Structure 1
Amino acid sequence: MIRDSSAKAHATRARILEAALRELGRDPDCTLGDIAGAAGVARRTIYGHFTGRAALVQGLAADAGEAVRRVSADTHAPTPDAVTALARFVLALWPVGDRYRTLLGLAHRDLGPDAIDALLRPARETVSGILTQGRQQGVFHTTVPPGPLNRALEAQMLALLECVNSGLWNDDGTAATTAALVTAGVGRDSAAAAVHPRRPSS
Protein backbone atom coordinates (compact mmCIF):
# COMPACT_ATOMS: atom_id res chain seq x y z
CA MET A 1 0.00 0.00 0.00
CA ILE A 2 2.83 2.41 0.89
CA ARG A 3 4.58 1.54 -2.36
CA ASP A 4 1.38 2.18 -4.35
CA SER A 5 0.87 5.54 -2.63
CA SER A 6 4.47 6.53 -3.31
CA ALA A 7 4.18 5.56 -6.98
CA LYS A 8 0.94 7.54 -7.29
CA ALA A 9 2.53 10.60 -5.68
CA HIS A 10 5.53 10.32 -8.00
CA ALA A 11 3.25 10.04 -11.05
CA THR A 12 1.23 13.07 -9.93
CA ARG A 13 4.37 15.12 -9.40
CA ALA A 14 5.65 14.15 -12.85
CA ARG A 15 2.30 15.10 -14.41
CA ILE A 16 2.39 18.49 -12.69
CA LEU A 17 5.93 19.17 -13.91
CA GLU A 18 5.02 18.12 -17.45
CA ALA A 19 2.03 20.46 -17.41
CA ALA A 20 4.21 23.23 -15.99
CA LEU A 21 6.65 22.86 -18.89
CA ARG A 22 3.82 23.22 -21.40
CA GLU A 23 1.99 26.06 -19.68
CA LEU A 24 5.07 28.10 -18.78
CA GLY A 25 6.28 27.68 -22.35
CA ARG A 26 2.95 28.99 -23.59
CA ASP A 27 2.78 31.82 -21.04
CA PRO A 28 5.63 32.49 -18.57
CA ASP A 29 3.16 34.41 -16.39
CA CYS A 30 0.63 31.59 -16.13
CA THR A 31 -0.75 30.84 -12.68
CA LEU A 32 -0.59 27.71 -10.58
CA GLY A 33 -4.29 27.38 -11.29
CA ASP A 34 -3.54 27.23 -15.02
CA ILE A 35 -0.92 24.55 -14.41
CA ALA A 36 -3.25 22.58 -12.14
CA GLY A 37 -5.96 22.64 -14.80
CA ALA A 38 -3.52 21.46 -17.47
CA ALA A 39 -2.34 18.67 -15.18
CA GLY A 40 -5.88 17.61 -14.34
CA VAL A 41 -5.43 18.13 -10.60
CA ALA A 42 -6.78 20.52 -8.00
CA ARG A 43 -4.71 23.59 -7.17
CA ARG A 44 -4.23 22.30 -3.63
CA THR A 45 -2.64 19.15 -5.07
CA ILE A 46 0.20 21.26 -6.45
CA TYR A 47 0.82 22.61 -2.96
CA GLY A 48 1.09 19.04 -1.76
CA HIS A 49 4.21 18.72 -3.90
CA PHE A 50 5.52 22.29 -4.22
CA THR A 51 5.27 25.23 -1.84
CA GLY A 52 4.64 27.66 -4.69
CA ARG A 53 5.66 28.82 -8.16
CA ALA A 54 9.34 29.23 -7.26
CA ALA A 55 9.52 25.69 -5.89
CA LEU A 56 7.79 24.37 -9.00
CA VAL A 57 10.31 26.07 -11.29
CA GLN A 58 13.10 24.73 -9.07
CA GLY A 59 11.61 21.26 -9.54
CA LEU A 60 11.83 21.70 -13.30
CA ALA A 61 15.42 22.91 -12.94
CA ALA A 62 16.28 19.88 -10.79
CA ASP A 63 14.92 17.54 -13.46
CA ALA A 64 16.83 19.44 -16.15
CA GLY A 65 20.00 19.30 -14.07
CA GLU A 66 19.66 15.54 -13.64
CA ALA A 67 19.22 15.13 -17.39
CA VAL A 68 22.35 17.24 -18.02
CA ARG A 69 24.29 15.11 -15.51
CA ARG A 70 23.21 11.90 -17.23
CA VAL A 71 24.32 13.16 -20.64
CA SER A 72 27.62 14.37 -19.19
CA ALA A 73 28.23 11.04 -17.45
CA ASP A 74 27.52 9.10 -20.64
CA THR A 75 29.97 11.29 -22.56
CA HIS A 76 32.80 10.47 -20.15
CA ALA A 77 33.34 7.19 -22.01
CA PRO A 78 36.72 7.32 -23.80
CA THR A 79 36.55 8.83 -27.29
CA PRO A 80 39.71 8.80 -29.42
CA ASP A 81 39.27 12.23 -30.98
CA ALA A 82 37.90 15.47 -29.57
CA VAL A 83 35.86 16.39 -32.64
CA THR A 84 33.84 13.19 -32.29
CA ALA A 85 33.52 13.72 -28.55
CA LEU A 86 32.19 17.28 -28.91
CA ALA A 87 29.80 16.28 -31.70
CA ARG A 88 28.46 13.38 -29.65
CA PHE A 89 28.04 15.53 -26.54
CA VAL A 90 26.23 18.44 -28.20
CA LEU A 91 23.94 16.09 -30.14
CA ALA A 92 23.07 14.29 -26.90
CA LEU A 93 22.62 17.52 -24.94
CA TRP A 94 20.48 19.32 -27.52
CA PRO A 95 17.27 17.32 -26.84
CA VAL A 96 17.65 18.09 -23.13
CA GLY A 97 18.03 21.79 -23.87
CA ASP A 98 15.11 21.65 -26.28
CA ARG A 99 12.86 19.96 -23.73
CA TYR A 100 13.69 22.40 -20.95
CA ARG A 101 14.15 25.56 -23.04
CA THR A 102 11.15 27.06 -21.24
CA LEU A 103 13.54 27.59 -18.33
CA LEU A 104 15.57 30.06 -20.41
CA GLY A 105 12.93 32.72 -19.96
CA LEU A 106 12.45 31.92 -16.28
CA ALA A 107 16.04 31.38 -15.19
CA HIS A 108 17.03 34.82 -13.97
CA ARG A 109 13.61 35.67 -12.55
CA ASP A 110 12.84 32.41 -10.76
CA LEU A 111 16.17 30.62 -10.28
CA GLY A 112 19.08 33.02 -9.88
CA PRO A 113 22.73 32.74 -10.97
CA ASP A 114 23.78 30.11 -8.41
CA ALA A 115 21.06 27.68 -9.50
CA ILE A 116 21.89 28.29 -13.17
CA ASP A 117 25.58 27.63 -12.52
CA ALA A 118 24.76 24.40 -10.69
CA LEU A 119 22.53 23.26 -13.55
CA LEU A 120 25.16 23.94 -16.22
CA ARG A 121 28.26 22.85 -14.26
CA PRO A 122 28.34 19.20 -15.44
CA ALA A 123 28.13 20.30 -19.08
CA ARG A 124 30.82 22.93 -18.56
CA GLU A 125 33.15 20.38 -17.00
CA THR A 126 32.58 17.90 -19.81
CA VAL A 127 33.17 20.48 -22.55
CA SER A 128 36.26 21.78 -20.74
CA GLY A 129 37.80 18.32 -20.88
CA ILE A 130 36.91 17.89 -24.55
CA LEU A 131 38.35 21.31 -25.46
CA THR A 132 41.59 20.55 -23.63
CA GLN A 133 41.83 17.24 -25.49
CA GLY A 134 41.13 19.00 -28.78
CA ARG A 135 43.85 21.59 -28.22
CA GLN A 136 46.34 18.80 -27.53
CA GLN A 137 45.26 17.09 -30.75
CA GLY A 138 45.50 20.34 -32.71
CA VAL A 139 41.88 20.27 -33.87
CA PHE A 140 40.47 23.22 -31.88
CA HIS A 141 41.39 26.89 -31.50
CA THR A 142 44.56 27.66 -29.58
CA THR A 143 44.15 31.45 -29.70
CA VAL A 144 41.21 31.30 -27.25
CA PRO A 145 41.80 29.44 -23.95
CA PRO A 146 39.45 26.52 -23.15
CA GLY A 147 37.63 28.45 -20.39
CA PRO A 148 36.47 31.41 -22.52
CA LEU A 149 35.86 29.13 -25.52
CA ASN A 150 33.71 26.91 -23.30
CA ARG A 151 31.57 29.88 -22.27
CA ALA A 152 31.33 31.04 -25.89
CA LEU A 153 30.01 27.62 -26.93
CA GLU A 154 27.56 27.65 -24.02
CA ALA A 155 26.30 31.13 -24.92
CA GLN A 156 25.89 30.09 -28.55
CA MET A 157 23.87 27.00 -27.66
CA LEU A 158 21.64 28.94 -25.26
CA ALA A 159 21.09 31.63 -27.90
CA LEU A 160 20.10 29.01 -30.48
CA LEU A 161 17.70 27.40 -28.00
CA GLU A 162 16.19 30.83 -27.35
CA CYS A 163 15.66 31.20 -31.11
CA VAL A 164 13.79 27.89 -31.09
CA ASN A 165 11.84 29.04 -28.04
CA SER A 166 10.75 32.23 -29.80
CA GLY A 167 9.85 30.44 -33.03
CA LEU A 168 12.66 31.94 -35.11
CA TRP A 169 14.33 28.60 -35.82
CA ASN A 170 13.89 24.86 -35.62
CA ASP A 171 16.62 22.23 -35.38
CA ASP A 172 17.05 18.58 -34.44
CA GLY A 173 20.50 19.35 -33.06
CA THR A 174 22.41 18.77 -36.30
CA ALA A 175 22.88 22.42 -37.25
CA ALA A 176 23.57 23.45 -33.65
CA THR A 177 26.24 20.77 -33.32
CA THR A 178 27.85 21.75 -36.62
CA ALA A 179 27.90 25.38 -35.47
CA ALA A 180 29.52 24.36 -32.17
CA LEU A 181 32.29 22.49 -33.97
CA VAL A 182 32.93 25.42 -36.31
CA THR A 183 33.05 27.80 -33.34
CA ALA A 184 35.57 25.49 -31.67
CA GLY A 185 37.79 25.76 -34.75
CA VAL A 186 36.80 22.81 -36.94
CA GLY A 187 36.44 23.49 -40.67
CA ARG A 188 32.87 23.62 -41.96
CA ASP A 189 33.14 20.53 -44.17
CA SER A 190 34.90 18.52 -41.46
CA ALA A 191 32.29 19.63 -38.92
CA ALA A 192 29.43 18.56 -41.17
CA ALA A 193 31.11 15.21 -41.81
CA ALA A 194 31.58 14.65 -38.08
CA VAL A 195 27.94 15.42 -37.29
CA HIS A 196 26.14 13.67 -40.14
CA PRO A 197 26.83 10.03 -39.11
CA ARG A 198 25.64 10.85 -35.58
CA ARG A 199 22.47 12.68 -36.59
CA PRO A 200 19.58 11.81 -34.24
CA SER A 201 17.23 9.25 -35.76
CA SER A 202 13.82 10.60 -36.75
Structure 2
Amino acid sequence: MTDTPAARRPRRDALENRAGILAAATATIAHDPHASIDTIARSAGLTRRALYGHFEDRDALIREVVAAGAQRFNAIALSIHDDDPRIALARLASQLWTEASHVQVAASIALDDAHVLETADALAPLRRTVVAIVRRGQDADVLRTDVAAPTLARLVEEAARAVITRMDASSPEARSLAVRAVLSIAGLSWREAVALLARHPELLEEHR
Protein backbone atom coordinates (compact mmCIF):
# COMPACT_ATOMS: atom_id res chain seq x y z
CA MET A 1 0.00 0.00 0.00
CA THR A 2 1.38 3.38 -0.99
CA ASP A 3 2.13 5.77 1.88
CA THR A 4 0.25 8.80 0.59
CA PRO A 5 0.42 12.27 2.17
CA ALA A 6 -3.10 11.68 3.50
CA ALA A 7 -1.94 8.46 5.14
CA ARG A 8 0.97 10.22 6.77
CA ARG A 9 -1.09 13.15 8.10
CA PRO A 10 -2.51 11.42 11.23
CA ARG A 11 0.97 10.53 12.41
CA ARG A 12 2.19 14.11 11.86
CA ASP A 13 -0.85 15.49 13.66
CA ALA A 14 -0.26 13.08 16.55
CA LEU A 15 3.35 14.23 16.85
CA GLU A 16 2.28 17.87 16.78
CA ASN A 17 -0.34 17.20 19.46
CA ARG A 18 2.22 15.43 21.61
CA ALA A 19 4.63 18.34 21.24
CA GLY A 20 1.85 20.73 22.20
CA ILE A 21 1.10 18.71 25.32
CA LEU A 22 4.77 18.73 26.32
CA ALA A 23 4.98 22.50 25.81
CA ALA A 24 1.83 23.02 27.88
CA ALA A 25 3.12 20.67 30.59
CA THR A 26 6.46 22.47 30.68
CA ALA A 27 4.80 25.87 31.16
CA THR A 28 2.25 24.57 33.66
CA ILE A 29 4.74 22.67 35.81
CA ALA A 30 7.13 25.64 35.82
CA HIS A 31 4.32 27.55 37.55
CA ASP A 32 3.19 24.66 39.75
CA PRO A 33 5.35 21.50 39.99
CA HIS A 34 2.39 19.61 41.44
CA ALA A 35 -0.10 20.61 38.70
CA SER A 36 -2.70 17.93 38.12
CA ILE A 37 -3.23 16.10 34.85
CA ASP A 38 -6.52 17.98 34.47
CA THR A 39 -4.74 21.33 34.78
CA ILE A 40 -2.14 20.29 32.22
CA ALA A 41 -4.84 19.04 29.83
CA ARG A 42 -6.74 22.34 30.07
CA SER A 43 -3.51 24.25 29.42
CA ALA A 44 -3.01 22.16 26.28
CA GLY A 45 -6.61 22.80 25.18
CA LEU A 46 -7.49 19.13 25.54
CA THR A 47 -9.72 16.96 27.65
CA ARG A 48 -8.22 14.60 30.21
CA ARG A 49 -9.25 11.68 28.00
CA ALA A 50 -7.53 13.17 24.94
CA LEU A 51 -4.32 13.70 26.91
CA TYR A 52 -4.40 10.07 28.04
CA GLY A 53 -4.42 9.15 24.37
CA HIS A 54 -0.79 10.33 24.28
CA PHE A 55 0.47 9.56 27.80
CA GLU A 56 -0.69 6.71 30.00
CA ASP A 57 -0.46 8.73 33.22
CA ARG A 58 1.01 11.88 34.79
CA ASP A 59 4.31 10.18 35.62
CA ALA A 60 4.82 9.20 31.98
CA LEU A 61 4.23 12.81 30.96
CA ILE A 62 6.61 14.11 33.63
CA ARG A 63 9.29 11.67 32.54
CA GLU A 64 9.13 13.01 29.01
CA VAL A 65 9.22 16.62 30.22
CA VAL A 66 12.34 15.79 32.24
CA ALA A 67 13.94 14.02 29.28
CA ALA A 68 13.23 16.90 26.88
CA GLY A 69 14.61 19.49 29.27
CA ALA A 70 17.65 17.40 30.11
CA GLN A 71 18.45 16.95 26.43
CA ARG A 72 18.63 20.73 26.02
CA PHE A 73 20.80 21.17 29.13
CA ASN A 74 23.16 18.37 28.19
CA ALA A 75 23.58 19.78 24.68
CA ILE A 76 24.60 23.12 26.19
CA ALA A 77 27.10 21.40 28.47
CA LEU A 78 28.69 19.60 25.51
CA SER A 79 29.11 22.92 23.67
CA ILE A 80 31.40 24.45 26.33
CA HIS A 81 35.07 24.26 25.32
CA ASP A 82 36.81 27.20 27.05
CA ASP A 83 40.34 26.49 28.31
CA ASP A 84 39.92 28.76 31.34
CA PRO A 85 37.64 26.88 33.76
CA ARG A 86 36.34 30.15 35.22
CA ILE A 87 35.16 31.28 31.79
CA ALA A 88 33.81 27.80 31.04
CA LEU A 89 31.77 27.83 34.25
CA ALA A 90 30.49 31.35 33.59
CA ARG A 91 29.56 30.51 29.99
CA LEU A 92 27.76 27.35 31.07
CA ALA A 93 25.74 29.22 33.72
CA SER A 94 24.88 32.00 31.29
CA GLN A 95 23.75 29.72 28.48
CA LEU A 96 21.69 27.61 30.86
CA TRP A 97 20.00 30.83 31.90
CA THR A 98 18.82 31.18 28.30
CA GLU A 99 16.83 28.04 28.99
CA ALA A 100 15.51 29.57 32.23
CA SER A 101 11.93 28.35 31.90
CA HIS A 102 13.12 24.80 31.17
CA VAL A 103 15.64 24.94 33.99
CA GLN A 104 12.87 26.05 36.34
CA VAL A 105 10.86 22.99 35.35
CA ALA A 106 13.76 20.63 36.00
CA ALA A 107 14.52 22.34 39.29
CA SER A 108 10.91 22.13 40.41
CA ILE A 109 10.66 18.48 39.46
CA ALA A 110 13.98 17.74 41.15
CA LEU A 111 12.56 19.13 44.38
CA ASP A 112 9.75 16.58 44.16
CA ASP A 113 10.93 13.40 45.91
CA ALA A 114 9.07 11.26 43.39
CA HIS A 115 11.37 12.38 40.55
CA VAL A 116 14.78 12.99 42.14
CA LEU A 117 16.45 9.86 40.77
CA GLU A 118 15.19 10.14 37.20
CA THR A 119 16.10 13.84 37.10
CA ALA A 120 19.61 13.04 38.34
CA ASP A 121 19.99 10.32 35.70
CA ALA A 122 18.71 12.56 32.91
CA LEU A 123 21.10 15.36 33.83
CA ALA A 124 24.13 13.10 34.31
CA PRO A 125 26.06 14.48 31.26
CA LEU A 126 25.57 18.06 32.48
CA ARG A 127 26.69 17.14 35.97
CA ARG A 128 29.78 15.36 34.65
CA THR A 129 30.68 18.51 32.72
CA VAL A 130 30.40 20.68 35.83
CA VAL A 131 32.58 18.27 37.83
CA ALA A 132 35.19 18.24 35.04
CA ILE A 133 35.28 22.05 34.84
CA VAL A 134 35.56 22.35 38.62
CA ARG A 135 38.35 19.77 38.76
CA ARG A 136 40.31 21.62 36.05
CA GLY A 137 39.88 24.84 37.99
CA GLN A 138 41.15 23.24 41.16
CA ASP A 139 44.14 21.73 39.37
CA ALA A 140 44.95 25.19 37.97
CA ASP A 141 44.41 26.72 41.43
CA VAL A 142 41.86 29.23 40.12
CA LEU A 143 38.86 27.69 41.89
CA ARG A 144 38.55 26.82 45.57
CA THR A 145 40.29 23.64 46.66
CA ASP A 146 38.95 23.27 50.20
CA VAL A 147 36.05 21.15 48.91
CA ALA A 148 36.26 17.99 46.79
CA ALA A 149 35.35 18.53 43.13
CA PRO A 150 32.11 16.48 43.14
CA THR A 151 30.89 18.27 46.28
CA LEU A 152 31.83 21.69 44.92
CA ALA A 153 30.08 20.88 41.64
CA ARG A 154 26.91 20.03 43.56
CA LEU A 155 27.16 23.28 45.53
CA VAL A 156 27.50 25.16 42.24
CA GLU A 157 24.42 23.37 40.92
CA GLU A 158 22.39 24.18 44.04
CA ALA A 159 23.43 27.84 43.93
CA ALA A 160 22.39 28.13 40.30
CA ARG A 161 19.09 26.38 40.95
CA ALA A 162 18.34 28.64 43.93
CA VAL A 163 18.83 31.77 41.84
CA ILE A 164 16.89 30.41 38.87
CA THR A 165 13.89 29.27 40.88
CA ARG A 166 13.65 32.45 42.95
CA MET A 167 14.24 35.19 40.43
CA ASP A 168 12.18 36.63 37.61
CA ALA A 169 13.90 35.48 34.43
CA SER A 170 12.84 38.71 32.73
CA SER A 171 14.85 40.83 35.17
CA PRO A 172 17.79 42.51 33.38
CA GLU A 173 20.09 41.63 36.29
CA ALA A 174 19.01 38.01 36.64
CA ARG A 175 21.50 36.45 34.23
CA SER A 176 24.43 38.38 35.67
CA LEU A 177 23.42 37.48 39.22
CA ALA A 178 23.08 33.80 38.35
CA VAL A 179 26.55 33.72 36.79
CA ARG A 180 28.13 35.67 39.65
CA ALA A 181 26.48 33.37 42.21
CA VAL A 182 27.98 30.33 40.48
CA LEU A 183 31.43 31.91 40.31
CA SER A 184 31.21 32.96 43.96
CA ILE A 185 30.40 29.45 45.15
CA ALA A 186 33.24 28.16 42.97
CA GLY A 187 35.71 30.37 44.84
CA LEU A 188 35.91 33.77 43.13
CA SER A 189 35.35 36.91 45.18
CA TRP A 190 32.54 39.14 44.02
CA ARG A 191 35.14 41.62 42.70
CA GLU A 192 36.88 38.87 40.73
CA ALA A 193 33.56 37.72 39.28
CA VAL A 194 32.61 41.25 38.24
CA ALA A 195 36.06 41.80 36.69
CA LEU A 196 35.85 38.52 34.76
CA LEU A 197 32.48 39.45 33.29
CA ALA A 198 33.76 42.94 32.46
CA ARG A 199 36.65 41.41 30.51
CA HIS A 200 34.31 38.99 28.73
CA PRO A 201 30.99 40.77 28.15
CA GLU A 202 30.05 38.13 25.56
CA LEU A 203 29.46 35.71 28.43
CA LEU A 204 26.27 37.53 29.31
CA GLU A 205 24.94 37.61 25.76
CA GLU A 206 21.90 35.47 25.07
CA HIS A 207 22.46 32.48 22.82
CA ARG A 208 19.63 30.58 21.13
What band does the TM-score fall into relative to the shorter chain? 0.7 to 0.9
Amino acid at match of 1:191: A
Kindly report which structure 2 residues correspond to 1:122-141, keeping only aligned pairs within 5 A, or say none. Answer: 122-141=125-144
- The number of aligned residues is 198
Return the letter of the residue paired with 1:102.
V
Matched letter for residue 149 of structure 1? L
Q: Give the partner amino acid of 2:90.
A: A
Query: What residue in structure 2 maps to residue 93 of structure 1?
Result: 96
Q: How far does the alpha carbon of each residue in 1:54-93 deviate from its partner, in whole angstroms, 9 at most, with x for none?
A: 1111111011111111111111x3x221111111111112
- Contact 1:16–1:46, Cα closer than 8 Å, also in 2: yes
Query: SS where residue 99 of structure 2 aligns?
Result: helix
- Aligned-partner SS, 1:30: coil
Whether the 8 Å CA contact 1:57–1:111 is kept in 2: the answer is no
Listed as ranges, the gaps of 5+ residues in structure 1 are: none
Matched, 1:17 2:22: yes
Is residue 25–residue 40 contact of structure 2 (8 Å, CA) maintained in 1? Answer: yes
TM-score (norm 2): 0.82
Do structure 1's residue 33 and structure 2's residue 38 form an aligned pair?
yes
Q: Deviations over 1:103-158 (max 9, x none)?
A: 43333547433202113312211111111211222211122121111111111112
Provide the aligned C-alpha RMSD in A.
2.5
1:107 to 105, 110, 127: 110
Output the amino acid matched with 1:87: A
Aligned match of 1:7: 12
Counterpart Cα distance in 2 of 1:25 and 1:80: 34
How far apart, CA to CA, are the structure 2 residues paired with 1:94 and 1:111? 25
Which stretch of the first structure deviates more once superposed, 145-154 or 192-201? Answer: 192-201
| Stretches of structure 2 lacking an aligned partner (at least 5 in a row) | none
- Alignment-derived partner of residue 64 in structure 2: 59
Write out per-residue CA displacement over residues 163-202 of structure 1, whole angstroms, 9 at most, x where no aligned residue. 13xx6x9554221111111211123222123235111349
Q: Which amino acid aligns with 2:79?
A: D
